[in-house]
Structure 1
Amino acid sequence: MSPINESILRSTRQVRPILSLDNQEARKRVISLYKSWYRQIPQTVHEFDIPKSVAQCRTKLREEFLRHRAVTDVRVIDMLIFKGHLDLKETINRWKQKSHLMRYWNESQEPKPKDFLTKFYRGYE
């Protein structure tokens, strides 16, 4: 075999899954995580005294899950699930503070201007 073929074979080897074996199993885990967060929201709003309603929090939860809708790699999905469970555990145990939860509603940063005049007017470089 040529060195090029060997490098191709090494780079395309199968990797071990983290939690889920296929997309169906990963989908079940995502739905389970979503339901867990959905059930926890009323207690979280009450305990942390968040100035948002339960409906607003559930809408934000849906937005956060839909943000990662295009992810198809099972390993990436598993890592996102792991991070979601970690955030849920931190919220339930009150290891997070109110400010950590309110960061979800921060307005997104305005993209930096690309043309010279806008940069000049706003004080960039």
Structure 2
Amino acid sequence: MSTGHIAKSLGGKVKPILSLDKNDARRRVLNLYRAWYRQIPYICYSYELPISEKTLRNKVRELFFANKHHTDVRVVDMLVLRGHMELNDTINKFKSKMHVMAYFKDPTFYQKKDFLSKFLTGHSNE
């Protein structure tokens, strides 16, 4: 049973987290998105990232669009709260450079292609 069905079965008695309706939740998401965008130059500078601001903006956009399918207001509010915590942790440098760069990790880049590496990981010699 989805959260929407549970809320309807309870007669709408589920207490909202932050937003009262979808428009309020949308406003909170856009405010979080703008906050991330405003902090990108400072994040690049303070962490001395080897990527451009444009690349970081594209990653932020990608992460927001990855969660755009959520329609339940409570789920959206929880994601907004998590986004604010991530932003605060990043701004206050509670993360290291490795934590920030983990968003840009390409797993295929680090895979070795030689015979011994494939053998040790259990892949066939293709």
Report the counterpart of residue 119 of structure 2 in structure 1: none
DSSP-derived class of the 2:54 partner: helix
1:12 to 6, 9, 12: 9
Report the counterpart of residue 116 of structure 1 in structure 2: none
Residues 19/10 of structure 1: CA separation in 2 closer, same or farther (3 Å cut): closer
Letter in 2 for 1:122: H
Bigger radius of gyration, 1 or 2? 1
What is the number of equivalent residue pairs in this alignment? Answer: 105
Runs of 4+ in 1 over 2 A off after TM superposition: 8-11
* Whole-angstrom CA distance in 2 between matches of 1:105 and 1:9: 37
Spell out the pairing of 1:27-66 with structure 2 (5 A cutoff).
27-66=26-65
Paired-residue identity, %: 43
Shift of 1:12: 1.1
DSSP-derived class of the 1:26 partner: helix
Letter in 2 for 1:61: V
Report the counterpart of residue 118 of structure 2 in structure 1: none
Letter in 1 for 2:102: R
Shift of 1:106: 1.6
Report the counterpart of residue 89 of structure 1 in structure 2: 88
Question: How large is the RMSD of aligned CA atoms in angstroms?
Answer: 2.2
Report the counterpart of residue 112 of structure 1 in structure 2: none
| Structure 1 stretches lacking a partner, 5+ long | 1-7, 110-120
* Whole-angstrom CA distance in 2 between matches of 1:42 and 1:54: 6
Shift of 1:11: 7.7
Give the structure-1-normalised TM-score.
Answer: 0.77
DSSP-derived class of the 1:96 partner: coil
